[in-house]
Amino acid sequence: MALEEFVGGLRDAALGEFHKDQIGEVSMAGRFMGQRGPFAQLQDNYGRIQLYLRKGEVGSDDEEKERYNQLMKLLDIGDFIGVKGFLFSTQTGELTLHVTGLSFLSKALRPLPIVKRDKEGNVHDAFTDPELRYRQRYVDLTVNPTNKEIFVKRSRIISAMRRYFDQQGWLEVETPVLQVVHGGAAARPFATHHNTLDMKLFMRIANELYLKRLIVGGYDGVYEIGKMFRNEGMDRTHNPEFTSMEIYVAYKDYNWMMEMVEECLEYITREVNDGETKVQVGEHTIDFAGPYRRLSMYDSIKEYTGVDISGMDEAQLRDLCKQLHIEVDPSMGRGKLIDEIFGEKVEAHLIQPTYITDYPIEMTPLAKKHRTTEGLVERFELFVNGKEIANAYSELNDPIDQRERFEEQLGLAARGDEEAMALDEDFLRALEYGMPPTSGLGIGIDRLTMLLTNQSSIQEVLFFPQMKAEKKKQDKEAKA
């Protein structure tokens, strides 16, 4: 039986005294987490309970008691045991299991780090080294059980998102992870080789183009939550393997999508935050209740740099980057230069949820041209606490325009841009069969989880973040 049933369900009743004839014999299992005198700690998925283990009182006869006494001498911190007995409360009111029977379940050959807590609740010798915690998450979760709550909340975030979409009648689908053409985003892919087919394949950087094929096929709304892979740098907000949600809804545009995102994120936040829309993120209190501020890309740069870049060409943008001390390279076209300026001078100021809208056409090859303003597309990104967590368009459904945009990307690739999009002939063929007006959205699950659990590093919300090879292994390989 889980400890939650006792430590939670009987917490108030623990102020009284429990006797065997009141509760009856109970049994439970978990990790042995240390002993002081006759009192020990047992830990499972839900928490800890105190055990009363007194020599000579475990077992029903002398032979069994002696066997248990020998077994108790062999117990080490981290061992898994099963116990049975009856509940009572100590003089201090702590719920305790008086152990009458004990079973050894599994031995821990490596000692767990011993985290000590004094009477005031202060922690000593904590297992806090980030590299060790990420490499040995199994140890981290055992000795720092409060970290489990981050991943419980992550699971609840995903469940709430699914529930919201399912309530709207949209279909959850699965699309290929191995793709012939890496498309749907500007990113450098991981490449692999399929031996039987003797062909090069790419791990997906996005699932956008396959989901839009399903809109062509007749579904009105499809979404997918899954892993994406990008062969890029790692930092506090980037991991080469990450989880993304993408959704596409027919007969909608990016204005509708902004309203949907506000409603969805407010719903998720309330579901995982005890009905509240405000969460503490570092020193900021973030409110996910809509409506969110809307600011165009050009206006945002003008607001935080004082410069109107709307009419600037590539050469002028390069000069501006020099003036603003922003490093750029020759492979960057107009879109990348604007993106660099925005990233350096604007992003950090966007603390409360803010939509950056109406991007230059060069920045977004898959978005529909703006219905009123030349040179822009109907796109928004949602920024919270200085980071992008969502990206959405009115989707481009003109196959002729889409081909021209892909060809422009090929030109950037020829200049050395490793993140330029590839030309996907099959996707163009799908568009030629006709795709209805559609709006699409991507949300980074990891970054959303960071916000809703008040974590500043993506590694804290991934069970097993990507790490460099352990140094001792590298040294061994070097000697070989």
Closest to 145 (Cα-Cα) out of 171, 172, 129, 127: 127
CA–centroid distance for 285 within its chain: 20
Binding residues: 381, 388
Residue type, 100: T
State whether the Cα torsion 65-69-71-76 is positive or negative: positive
Inter-residue contact 286 to 279 (CB < 8 Å): yes
Could you give the dihedral angle defined by the CA atoms of residues 360, 363, 364 and 368, in that order, rounded to the nearest 10 degrees? 10
Tokens of 470: 């352990």
Q: State the Cα–Cα distance between residues 359 and 346, nearest whole angstrom.
A: 14
Long-range contacts of 419-426 (CB under 8 A, 24+ apart): 419/186, 419/187, 419/188, 420/186, 421/183, 421/184, 421/185, 421/186, 421/365, 421/366, 422/181, 422/182, 422/183, 423/181, 424/181, 424/183, 424/209, 426/181
Residue 255 Ramachandran class (φ > 0 left, ψ -120 to 50 alpha, else beta): alpha
Of 6, 39, 29, 26, give the one whose Cα is nearest residue 84.
Answer: 26
Give the residue numbers of the binding site for Mg(2+): 381, 388
Angle at 471 between CA 468 and CA 472, to 5 degrees: 140
User: Cα(246)–Cα(30) distance, rounded to whole angstroms?
Assistant: 39
